[in-house]
Structure 1
């Protein structure tokens, strides 16, 4: 009891002397100094550790130790075995003069319509190779079936009749246009309307005005045509794959057929083609083109061509 009283007495005396000497706020100052000491030591320790860690990383940054392998080794080995290169046979029709341009058309179509967005999603080229292989299989089937068709009657009879019918419809539309008294409408619209009216009269139940005058309907018609061709040429498994079929349909319709039709419909291309055909003819270019513009008698053209 006496010992505890002496401890409390001396302790209280020490506190009183401390407060008298340093003031009533000395306790707060002491606590603040202790906190700053501990915090400063902690900050110095962190800074020292950070500097040493950076030096250690710089030292081992260019280490020649092999990197650790990511993933399960067995799974990685199986994936490497599955990644076998796909070999594509570039033969399509059996003629190198035809196969090379066709391969270029396929390459350009894939580049312009698939590769530019596909490489933003994946670098795996197996999908592109599958599309290319499917296109080539369709072309091979088309070439094989084309060889079984007797083209001579078509080129000598039906194609000539269709071309002659087209010229007759055009001439009939021109005659109607000259007979009309209403000259206020646009001559192009008048010609188109007269042409398809004459076509309905001569072809009876066939009229191609919607397909020929509407770009949207033309694309829809080409899509339907390509889908029909794919149905005839592709194996059932590839055709029933909707993603693959839609890709091929768009590539063929918008990348091959539509540009081809636009080129064949270009008047400048037709004129250049006519010039190329008569290059070895005795009639010069200027005279032949003037005769085409001025004459309306087939007999004169026959005399010139003969």
Structure 2
């Protein structure tokens, strides 16, 4: 039953093919395929021709139309890009004093050159980044200068700074009394804890890593106080400035100030203009109790003697050289005699001598207060006795008295000049006197 419809379809199909071939001939199939191909190709040709004609008409219409003009901002941007870079003008005023501003500008320029420019120019030639950093540093310095002018420095320099320096010197002397040099650092910080009670700086002073961390925290605190809030909250810029200040400014400065060679050169520069005569030099050799210093002087004398004896001179120069040799031989003899006395233990301790036989000399108080070296030891004595406040009070009043006398003498010269107004000076003197009273004599202190 299923094969009957299938056979009928093939039968009718075969019959149709036979009738088609009998009617149209054997080549009718090729003609049919050719007609279909021509029909499809003609359709494509007509479509292409119609699209081309319409496209040409549309282009002709577009040629006679006008596009909207470009915006002015784009042309302005192109013009500015074509212009050459103009030099950037920077306001170089920081503190209001050219004597201070010029060195500060040099420090900023050297910091940018040594820590930023050498790697930044390998990335970009745009100066805007460097300008932003420079302006930020200048802003911080301006704020620092402004706030420094608002601080009353007189109590700090006359009381706190002197007290800190005297405490540090006393701690150092206490640690220096130890015979073992290797334990001097530990003894110093132990004495510091004993005197300062709650403060000890051993970790910061003995560890480079902790020192760097402390300087980072210090720089970040300074940036918080000096920078505007918007610039401080920019973490990338804040961290960048912190590292530059800590590693490029503060750490090299501390290393240089703590370098013994730099300290020696600075001391030599300070005493270069002062005259150290022969008597003062010999007194130092006779009073010193350090054999190492005497040995160093003796070695230098021997080197100088060897050099003078090697000179081949004649005439008047030989007399000068002989005098120099005799002087150096005398210095050598003094050093050797002093070293022998110190090593043999026959040297007399002047402090014990004063304790056993009374005071060696009596120096008036007014002489002590005007002599720098005597005043330093007197400060140590008063601080050990717990009476340094009286000494600071006297120094403050004496400084105010001298300043007031000078200002009053200047005001007397202004009386003939009507343009000068001494009222401002009187107000400043009155305010300074009131500050001294509130600091030392006010009822709040009792």
Distance 1:45 1:250, change over 3 A: farther
Per-residue CA deviations over 1:209-264 (Å, capped at 9, x if unaligned) read: 11111111111111111110110110001100111111211121111111111121
1:152 aligns with 2:154: yes
Distance 1:299 1:12, change over 3 A: closer
Query: Rg bigger for which structure?
Result: 2
Q: Which moved more, 1:61-70 or 1:13-22?
A: 13-22
> 1:274 Cα shift?
2.7
Q: Which moved more, 1:112-121 or 1:127-136?
A: 112-121
Per-residue CA deviations over 1:129-182 (Å, capped at 9, x if unaligned) read: 1000100010011011111111122112111111111111111111xxxxxxxx
Contact 2:193 / 2:200 at 8 angstroms: preserved in 1? yes
- For the residues of structure 1 that align with 2:38 and 2:180, how far apart are their CA atoms? 95
Q: Which moved more, 1:229-238 or 1:241-250?
A: 241-250
- For the residues of structure 2 that align with 1:43 and 1:269, how far apart are their CA atoms? 97
Contact 2:223 / 2:232 at 8 angstroms: preserved in 1? yes
Distance 1:111 1:207, change over 3 A: same
- For the residues of structure 2 that align with 1:62 and 1:120, how far apart are their CA atoms? 52
Per-residue CA deviations over 1:183-221 (Å, capped at 9, x if unaligned) read: x99955411111111111111111101111111111111
- For the residues of structure 2 that align with 1:35 and 1:284, how far apart are their CA atoms? 126
Distance 1:17 1:245, change over 3 A: same
Q: Which moved more, 1:185-194 or 1:37-46?
A: 37-46
Distance 1:44 1:228, change over 3 A: farther
- For the residues of structure 1 that align with 2:110 and 2:49, how far apart are their CA atoms? 59
Distance 1:35 1:237, change over 3 A: same
- For the residues of structure 2 that align with 1:185 and 1:50, how far apart are their CA atoms? 108
TM-score (norm 1): 0.64
Distance 1:76 1:149, change over 3 A: same
Distance 1:187 1:6, change over 3 A: same
> 1:11 Cα shift?
44
Q: Which moved more, 1:28-37 or 1:84-93?
A: 28-37
Please list every run of 5 or more consecutive structure 1 residues that lacks an aligned counterpart in the other structure. Answer: 175-183
- For the residues of structure 2 that align with 1:108 and 1:276, how far apart are their CA atoms? 24
1:228 to 211, 221, 225: 221
- For the residues of structure 1 that align with 2:227 and 2:98, how far apart are their CA atoms? 23
Please list every run of 5 or more consecutive structure 2 residues that lacks an aligned counterpart in the other structure. Answer: 295-389, 392-446
Q: Which moved more, 1:188-197 or 1:274-283?
A: 274-283
TM-score (norm 2): 0.45
1:132 to 131, 134, 137: 134
Aligned residue-pair number: 293
Distance 1:235 1:70, change over 3 A: closer
1:57 to 56, 59, 80: 59
The aligned counterpart of 1:198 is: 191
Q: Which moved more, 1:145-154 or 1:7-16?
A: 7-16
- For the residues of structure 2 that align with 1:25 and 1:190, how far apart are their CA atoms? 123
Distance 1:4 1:22, change over 3 A: same
- For the residues of structure 2 that align with 1:114 and 1:206, how far apart are their CA atoms? 37
Contact 1:110 / 1:251 at 8 angstroms: preserved in 2? no
The aligned counterpart of 1:3 is: 5
The aligned counterpart of 2:21 is: 19
> 1:273 Cα shift?
2.6
- For the residues of structure 1 that align with 2:283 and 2:125, how far apart are their CA atoms? 57
> 1:3 Cα shift?
50
- For the residues of structure 1 that align with 2:274 and 2:229, how far apart are their CA atoms? 51
Q: Which moved more, 1:154-163 or 1:59-68?
A: 59-68
> 1:282 Cα shift?
4.6
Kindly report the root-mean-square deviation, in angstroms, between the aligned alpha carbons of the 2 structures.
10.3
Contact 2:178 / 2:184 at 8 angstroms: preserved in 1? no
Distance 1:196 1:124, change over 3 A: same
Distance 1:92 1:59, change over 3 A: farther
- For the residues of structure 1 that align with 2:34 and 2:262, how far apart are their CA atoms? 93
- For the residues of structure 1 that align with 2:182 and 2:242, how far apart are their CA atoms? 32
Q: Secondary structure at the match of 1:72?
A: helix
